[in-house]
Each structure stands twice: as C-alpha cells, then as structure tokens.
Amino acid sequence: MMIISGLITIAISIALMLWIFKMKKDNPFPKFTIIKVLIGGWLSYLISAAITLAALFAIPAIRFGFTDYIAAWRDAVAGNGDSLMAFLQQSTPNIWAALIKSLTAVALVEELLKFVAMRLIARKQGTVIGRFDAILLCALVGIGFQIFEDIGYASTGGVVLAIVRALMPFHFTFGAIMGYFYGKYKKFGKKSDLCLAIVLPTVIHGIFDFTIVNIDTFEILSYPAIASIVVLWAITVFMIVKIRRWSMDEEMREQ
C-alpha cells in the first residue's frame, strides 16, 4: 500500500506539472526551472520537517520543565522507556493547542519556506513576467514540496493518511493561491496582497492539517475533517478552472 500511495503521488504530480508546462508552451519557463522547483521542494520539505520535529520535542519541555524532560529521556536511554512515554502522554495538547500547532509549526513554516523557494527561483530573469507566471511558478513549487512530503508520509506506514494526501494535490492549490496574490503584489505593489499571499494559504492549510492529522485524537473532528476534504477539493477544482481561463487572458500575462 505504501508503494501504491507513492505511485499515486508521483503520477498526480507529474500530470499537474505537464499541465502547467502546457499552459506555458508559448512562453516557456527558463531552462532548468523544473530542476530548481524539485530542489526547492526537497529543501523546503527537509527544513520544515526538522522545524516540526523540533517543535514536537520542545513543546513538552517548555510546558512541563526541561529538568523533568531531560530526566525522562535519560531513563529512556537507560532502558526505561515507560518514563518518557508517560511524560509525552501527559503533555498531549488540547484541541486549541493542536490547532495553533497546525497553523504555526506546520502550515506557516511550510508556506513561508515555499514562498522563499519561489522567490529564489523567480530571481532568474524571464521566470516571472506577469501574474500568470507567478501563479504557475508557485503552483510548481507546491507540487515539488508535496512530492517529497507525500513520499515521507507513505514511508512512515500511515497508509490511510498517505493515500488521502496522495489523492489531494493541496500544495498545488496553496501554491496557486499564493501565486495569485503574489502576482497582484508584483503588478500593483499593494502590501496587503503580499500578506494575503502567505496568510490565506497558511490559514486554509492549517485548518485542513488540523482536522486530518488530529482526527484520531479528537473524535469531534470527524465531520470537520470530511468537510475540509470536500472544501479543499472544491477550491482545487476552482483554481484549475481559473488557471485554464487565465491562460487565455492577455492581461494576466502582461508585466
């Protein structure tokens, strides 16, 4: 099943990338853009994973004291793993703490890293000329990130979660939203659009991650999780339709 979810991720990602490059066939991205996108996605995933893991271990220490936390780890190293497990179980966050964690330690970190990767790639002259280019480039960076993230989920053995994520190209959607507002910022110079380029994908991403990841911990999230999947799929379809229409809009391609 892990192999299947990995293949689903790769197949959907390749299909979306080919579709995006088809949108740009008349004015293609500079050479090696796809390689930069994959490298940017890989590095963004590694850094975000490291930050999330650091937060996972730091939060219990902050809440219950470094001395007890270090003592629990010493017991675990000495062979008494029950001490560490008991400490971690008592530090399980409540539902509001879990929401804040999803919005900040996960969504905000990942969206900021993807934004930085996009800006670095966009420095190459001719990469982002108009608003449409910004949308496609951000979507590509999102796809590059999701390839490695979904493979990571597949390798952990969480089959159901891995397949759900593989079937939902949500980082493509977040990237397209980011690109839309970043393109508006480049065109009109409004700081509010630059803020929305990061804040809006972060909020949507954080709520989705919160409901899906914590569904086993908080039973109350069962229906919100289903609703978030339906809503995110609707947004994804909407963005695909809009991108197709924008590809024929000369104003979206103008500098």
The residues near 117 (Cβ < 8 Å, ≥ 6 apart) are 40, 41, 43, 44, 141, 144, 145
**Residue pLDDT, tens place only, 49-86:** 898 877 777 766 666 666 666 666 666 656 555 555 55
Q: How is the chain split into domains, by residue range?
A: 2-19+31-54+98-253
Mean pLDDT of 227-255: 91
| Residue from 246, 61, 62 nearest 139 by CA | 246
CB 198 within 8 A of CB 111: yes
d(CA 49, CA 106): 9
What's the token pair of residue 97? 């703490």
pLDDT tens across 5-17, in order?
A: 677 778 888 999 9
Mean pLDDT of 188-208: 96
Name the H helices within the chain.
2-23, 33-64, 66-77, 81-90, 95-101, 109-122, 131-156, 159-166, 170-188, 191-213, 222-246, 250-253
The Cα 34–Cα 217 span in angstroms is 38
pTM: 0.86
Residue 152, pLDDT above cutoff 70: yes
Q: What is the 3-class SS of 118-147, one letter each residue?
A: HHHHHCCCCCCCCHHHHHHHHHHHHHHHHH
pLDDT of residue 45 exceeding 90: yes
Q: Is the pLDDT of residue 172 over 90?
A: yes
Rg (CA), the chain: 20
| C-alpha–C-alpha distance, residues 163 and 161, integer Å | 6
Q: How far apart are CA 12 and CA 168, in angstroms?
A: 9
- pLDDT, one tens digit per residue, over 105-115 is 899 999 999 99
Query: How confident is the model at residue 95, as a pLDDT?
Result: 87
Q: C-alpha 43: how far from its chain's center?
A: 13
